[in-house]
Amino acid sequence: MQFLLNNIGNISTWEDGKTYTGKQIDENSSIVAKKLKEMNISSGDKVLIYHGNSAHFFSDLFGVWKSGACAVCLNSNLTENELINIISFMSPSLLLYKNDMQISHDLDIPFLDTTKLKQNNNSDNVSAWDTNIDSDALILFTSGTTGIPKGVVHTFRSLLSRITLNQSYIPLEAMKKTLCLLPTHFGHGLIGNCLTPLLAGCDLVIAPGHNLTVTHQLNKIIDDFNISFMSSVPALWKKVLRNVDQPEKDTLKRVHIGSAPLSSDLWENVIQWSNSKTVVNMYGITETANWIAAASSDKYTPCDGLVGDMWGGSAAILNKDKEISTVGEGELLIQSPSLLKEYFKLPNKTKEIFINGWYRTGDIGRIDEKGIIYLTGREKYEINRSGIKVYPEDIDLLLERHGEIREACAFAIPDDIEGETIGVAISFINDSEQNLSDIQNWCYERLSREKVPVEWFIEEEIPKTDRGKLNRDRVAKHCLGN
């Protein structure tokens, strides 16, 4: 498996202005691997990495892999209770952290700050990986840090498949200087935005996308680092397009947008801002090791729900009669070499997501006669209003076309008469007082009556996850709790 790390690119970090060569990262990872082997950590062990978005993180990640162990990438903003919950559930062998972090000595696990390890003449001899291609390589959590954690397990085979496929679809020249604004405990950020270019020998620039200074200086960052490729989420672009001028240089060749529905209007606006012909709406989930399908603006005219062609593997539809077809409408099914192995310690949940060898995505959409994929919404967020099925994503996309609305998030509200009715959180572009009845009337002109929200919640900023995504359950709880 060592060939995976044969051509590591350089990493620059925006916060401290430092650059670390691929050779330095590789050497540091060997130091980490040697220490882990001294601690008897090998294949089958789980090692928590409790920091991210730095060259140090990648040295730790690659060091864990060289030792043969499985890396579990955590959000460094987890509370102590969340961390204890994960440790209790996983029984990991070790926790790696950064020297500026406060780690409780009450944690029932050894922990190590690898920045304190010193170069050893024997460290560069760590080359024979104590693992095989079907060993567990990576676990990413998608939910449950306060309850039962849902950890997606990927093997070296699934990761290698995804990264290789990504590299075959993205020109090497486009990835030459890549910007990552996404967290590295997130499949989109780690696998797609970082490992895909970095392991092709391309240079990576890391900046914290949640930092408002970064968002407001995105044009300058692109110009200063000669960025050619970046990927992010729709929420970031809504902020950028509102406040940030275009880059002065013409270095940005390719932009990916994913992890949430992308409206055609926002898509068109990003094309104009970036001055790139290749702005791509990406579809992917943690269970497929990030990107699995794509629609590029140099091939398709932007439209709502379009996610285009598969990037390796096959797609099908499970229709309302529970029949599997390559054409039609229903739940999207996927077959791919980059599929997860399992949900960690959740065999019943793992069993539920497969049907006749196909992975059930939980996304509702259609595949046309040409094999082009369109998404409508998530099955679990479907609103049943007096027997009429309503997808909240449709409401979001429409409201965000209103000239005064910056962002919208619709959700179901239990109702004694209709079963469920519709609530929506909205934030306005300007802070001035808005006429809500005018916006409601605007909706009635464009939506059937049963799709128009009943309860409206005006928010200065709609709550998001640490990945910059809207979570309907969280937004609903926030609004209804208020």
Assess contact for 199 and 4: CB atoms under 8 A: yes
- Domain ends where: 348, 379, 410? 379
* Residue 248 neighbours by CB under 8 Å, 6+ apart: 219, 223
Residues 445, 296 share a domain: no
Distance separating alpha carbons of residues 23 and 15, to the nearest angstrom = 21
Residues 424, 473 share a domain: yes
Residues 430, 360 share a domain: no
- Domain ends where: 360, 379, 398? 379
**Residue 233 tokens, joined:** 């989420």
Distance separating alpha carbons of residues 453 and 439, to the nearest angstrom = 11
**Residue 422 tokens, joined:** 């519709």
The torsion angles phi and psi of 185, rounded to 5 degrees, stand at -95, 15
Query: CA distances (Å), 45 to each of 5, 155, 195, 240, 312, in order?
Result: 20, 13, 22, 42, 31
**Residue 167 tokens, joined:** 């590299």
Q: What is the DSSP letter of 186?
A: S
pLDDT of residue 429: 86
Residues 267, 139 share a domain: yes
pLDDT of residue 125: 53
Distance separating alpha carbons of residues 344 and 349, to the nearest angstrom = 10
Assess contact for 179 and 225: CB atoms under 8 A: yes
Residues 330, 439 share a domain: no
- Report the Cα 255 to chain-centroid distance in Å: 15
Q: Which residues pair with 295 in a beta bridge?
A: 281
Residues 284, 219 share a domain: yes
**Residue 3 tokens, joined:** 């060939």
We report the CATH number of the domain holding residue 177 as 3.40.50.12780
We report the CATH number of the domain holding residue 433 as 3.30.300.30
Q: What is the DSSP letter of 26?
A: H
pLDDT of residue 145: 67
Residues 425, 318 share a domain: no
The torsion angles phi and psi of 50, rounded to 5 degrees, stand at -100, 45
Which domain does 419 fall in, by range? 382-481
pLDDT of residue 294: 98
Pairing of strands 150-155, 373-378: unpaired
Residues 85, 15 share a domain: yes
Residues 303, 435 share a domain: no
446 SS3 class: coil
Residues 362, 398 share a domain: no
**Residue 154 tokens, joined:** 């990927």
Residues 270, 135 share a domain: yes
Rg of the chain (C-alpha set):
23
pLDDT of residue 379: 85
Q: Total structural domains in the chain? A: 2
Q: What is the DSSP letter of 402?
A: S
Blockwise average pLDDT, block size 10, the chain, 482 residues:
80 94 95 95 95 96 96 90 90 90 74 84 57 94 80 97 97 98 94 98 94 92 97 91 94 95 94 96 95 97 96 96 96 97 96 96 95 91 85 91 92 89 92 81 89 93 84 92 74
Q: What is the DSSP letter of 194?
A: I
Assess contact for 273 and 248: CB atoms under 8 A: no
Assess contact for 353 and 367: CB atoms under 8 A: no
* Backbone CA torsion sign across 277, 283, 286, 291: negative
- Domain ends where: 354, 379, 404? 379
- CA nearest neighbour of 198 among 181, 183, 184, 177: 177
Residues 351, 442 share a domain: no
- CA nearest neighbour of 58 among 73, 70, 44: 73
Distance separating alpha carbons of residues 349 and 273, to the nearest angstrom = 42
Assess contact for 71 and 79: CB atoms under 8 A: no
